[in-house]
Structure 1
């Protein structure tokens, strides 16, 4: 039983990278099955006879989760910052596009105003030209009197 305990402790050290620090937490899962395979013993032996090593495995796994969560939170923060930067870039692009469209709309309104004034002027000229006029000759007026 003591030899099995030594095998399990050595296997746990190999799995965690020694000193209770995970060597490759992202790729190596600390499970009873992984520990049993690494030590070359059955899982039942761990559950039945080596409760202290099982507790140590559980503590080590919990210690691994905290850095994993911190890394995950940092990754999320980085991802959110990237999203914010992308959105700010989109806002700048939309503001630029909006300014261009606004300039075009103002210019179109000016052209429409000029076209309306010109149309009113031409309508006035046409009305003036369409008014009936007396066709008199200056010589004909003296002859009739």
Structure 2
């Protein structure tokens, strides 16, 4: 066997090995990157509410998110972000002697950019925003409303 044959064989083996690695890396990263999705909760009611948030993955039924809060009137809460993957999201406002439980559900996907929750006396408003520009505008509007409310309360 001469030197050219040995070098050619080594080159073919190297390229074939690299092709296998590229396929393995590509298989590992199929789909899209999942980014954390911010959640904002506001209490627009006249009383404090106990709420719980949870999410379940659609592909395996495993629980992916679970948080609980007591939110006072006019309070805004930003709980930990939820992963932007296919999952069923649920918010429950727990009742007491005067009010009943309310539940609202929605779908979180890899396209979701923002989750807004507003609590009212007789309903829960769940808004799942997928448009990135709309999410940024909505976050800015909510921030501005709360800054104005804080300024009015202080002076």
| TM norm. shorter chain > 0.5 | no
Higher relative helix content: 1
Higher relative strand content: 2
TM-score, structure 2 length as denominator? 0.27
Relative contact order (C-alpha < 8 Å, sep 6+): which is higher? 2
